[in-house]
Amino acid sequence: MSVMSSVLFLAQVQPVPSPAPAKIDPPALDAVWPILIVLAAACVGVLFEAFLPRHQRWPAQVALSLLALAGAGVALATYLSDAPEAGEMAMFNTLAVDRPALFLWGTLLALSVGAVLLIADRSVEPGGAFVATAAIRPGTVQDRAQVTATGMQTEVFPLTLFALGGMMIFCAANDLLTMFIALEVLSLPLYLMCGLARRRRLLSQEAAVKYFLLGAFASAFFLYGVALLYGYAGSVRLADISAAAAGTDRSDTLLFAGMGLLVVGLLFKASVGPFHTWTPDVYQGAPTPVTAFMAACTKVAAFGGILRVLQVAFESTQWEWRGVLWGVAIASMVIGAILGLTQTDVKRMIAYSSVAHAGFLLIGAIALTDRGLSGTLFYLLTYGFTTLAAFGVISLVRDSSGEATHLSQWAGLAKRSPLVAGVFTFLLLALAGIPLTSGFVGKFVVFEAAIDDGMAPLVVIALVASAVAAFFYLRVIVLMYFSEPAADGPTVTVPGAFTTAAITLGVLVTLLLGILPSFALDWAAGGAFAIR
């Protein structure tokens, strides 16, 4: 206290003369209504948890979440109808609402509808995929009792909305501090949601702890990078960093050390190899609807951030760092494709597939052209819907202990349930990138942009990796169709309306974007990042 009082005393003795600062006007909100609606609904969701009786929470939360997503979508569409072509800055220049940001917002909102539908389902797993009281210690009598109880932790809905709000801010963040705050807003709810699985509590909690510890580590990398870049440029604004890098003879050490640390933090969130080590464990342990949400939406948000940072802040120095990210992309594709071959758990297999896809996406992200940008955005849209539906299908194949995720249990699934096997086959083919699926178009536009930008060797490696990865997708298909079903094999649960809707949404978008991709490609090519 004495420090404080003497400092105050000092200030009274020698008042610092300062000019009367100008009044600060309230910011215009028309561009950010989608974010505000999502975050406000999340706050209302917390109040629902506080004041509604237990049996009313689930219907109220589901209705609120879906209404909020619809409302945000309407707000986005309304804004899009007369949005400035070059984008605009919002909230005191902290958010850049430009065409890529709007495309990513739309993608995130649409994917979140699917994820919320999967989360809300209570018929596949009686009572929902989420535990009633997550704090009960696994293995105790109370814990065994709550497996069969019908209650579920409805906090997952506001948590989803908070994470979504963070993702939307992350995609549009115009300076690194806003980006860091958004990173935490999107990460913290996800850490919690990973630990809420009703079955296999220990695995779920292990996933949550691993994700939290490694995520905190990655956040520290990000923040250290921000500090070094601030030391270099004297500003955390992306455009200022770009200007500082373009027009000075300052030492590059701070710039590239800062950029390296920053990008490590971003690549971690996007689960790009070799920063992917958390991905298989977390994807396997988390409740499957949450895995779907993470795999689809976190990937979109993280790559939205990577695209903006690379294209806005570091474009002028691309010849210095591009070689390193070449190496990272190769590592990610090779790790994903080869380690995917050795997996025996279908959720882990899709996790390694997501690492390989992150490598493909990174190729598009380091092609610093308009086509690279639009190709990567389109790829994110296609990958998100396909992987969302794939995890939806995985949640349907169950035995008495919960989801049957071991690959041997999937043998002969086509004989028991031709429809589910057919849908999963289609989604695996889309992940492998077979024509007439969205995965093919996505890979095509990304690789085309990469070749245009002089990265042909990288594309050759990517094609080889795709071929290797196709093997493990096809292995599952062969297993489902040409193996005898095990005698005590899993059953396929008849999905409720919510899961059916989510899977149908994913499959339809995958098919539609495979056959008629041009309208979505036009959206993705709507404009470049606003640099201010």
> Does 46 help bind other proteins (rule: CB under 8 A)?
yes
**Backbone phi, then psi, for 224, in 5-degree steps?**
-65, -40
Q: How many CB atoms lie within 10 A of CB 371?
A: 18
In terms of Cα–Cα distance, which of 269, 464, 428, 433 is closest to 355? 269
> Does 25 help bind other proteins (rule: CB under 8 A)?
yes
Site mask for other proteins (CB under 8 A), range 453-492, x = bound: ----------------------------------------
Distance between CA 108 and CA 71 in Å, rounded?
A: 14
Q: How many CB atoms lie within 10 A of CB 477?
A: 17
Q: Which is nearer to other proteins, 47 or 213 (CB)?
A: 47
Q: What is the smallest separation between the CB atom of 58 and other proteins, expressed in angstroms? A: 16
Helix (H, G, I), strand (E, B) or coil at 406: strand
Lookup: tokens for 148: 């069969």
Site mask for other proteins (CB under 8 A), range 176-205, x = bound: ------------------------------
Name, in order, each residue with C-beta under 8 angstroms of 286's C-beta and a sequence gap of 6 or more.
Answer: 193, 194, 197, 204, 207, 208, 294
Q: How wide is the angle at C-alpha 201 spanned by C-alphas 203 and 112, nearest 5°? A: 85
Site mask for other proteins (CB under 8 A), range 82-121, x = bound: ----------------------------------------
Helix (H, G, I), strand (E, B) or coil at 378: helix
Q: What is the smallest separation between the CB atom of 51 and other proteins, expressed in angstroms? A: 6
Say how many Å lie between the first and final Cα of the chain, rounded.
Answer: 43
Work out the burial of residue 193: count CB atoms within 10 Å of its CB; fewer than 13 is exposed, 13-18 middle, 19 or more buried.
Answer: buried
Q: Which is nearer to other proteins, 2 or 148 (CB)?
A: 2
Site mask for other proteins (CB under 8 A), range 128-157, x = bound: -------x----------------------
Residue from 17, 19, 50, 400 in contact with other proteins (CB under 8 A): 50
Q: Which stretch binds other proteins (CB under 8 A): 16-24, 228-236, 294-302, 479-487?
A: 16-24
Distance between CA 280 and CA 285 in Å, rounded?
A: 8
Q: Which stretch binds other proteins (CB under 8 A): 21-29, 294-302, 365-373, 499-507?
A: 21-29
> Does 6 help bind other proteins (rule: CB under 8 A)?
yes
Q: What is the smallest separation between the CB atom of 200 and other proteins, expressed in angstroms? A: 23
> Does 13 help bind other proteins (rule: CB under 8 A)?
yes
Name, in order, each residue with C-beta under 8 angstroms of 117's C-beta and a sequence gap of 6 or more.
Answer: 498, 499, 501, 502, 505
Q: Which is nearer to other proteins, 2 or 518 (CB)?
A: 2
Q: Which residues pair with 97 in a beta bridge?
A: 88
**Backbone phi, then psi, for 357, in 5-degree steps?**
-65, -35
In terms of Cα–Cα distance, which of 452, 414, 427 is closest to 510? 427
Q: What is the smallest separation between the CB atom of 47 and other proteins, expressed in angstroms? A: 6
Q: Which stretch binds other proteins (CB under 8 A): 8-16, 240-248, 319-327, 459-467?
A: 8-16
In angstroms, what is the C-alpha Rg of the chain?
24
Q: How many CB atoms lie within 10 A of CB 248?
A: 12
Count of residues in contact with other proteins, rule CB under 8 A: 20
Q: Which stretch binds other proteins (CB under 8 A): 43-51, 58-66, 379-387, 494-502?
A: 43-51
Q: Which stretch binds other proteins (CB under 8 A): 20-28, 204-212, 351-359, 487-495?
A: 20-28
Helix (H, G, I), strand (E, B) or coil at 433: coil
> Does 18 help bind other proteins (rule: CB under 8 A)?
no
Q: Which is nearer to other proteins, 49 or 320 (CB)?
A: 49
Residue from 15, 19, 51, 82 in contact with other proteins (CB under 8 A): 51
Residue from 1, 17, 18, 24 in contact with other proteins (CB under 8 A): 24
In terms of Cα–Cα distance, which of 311, 317, 298 is closest to 358? 298
Residues lying near other proteins in the complex (CB under 8 A) are found at 2-3, 6-7, 10, 13-14, 21-26, 43, 46-47, 49-51, 135
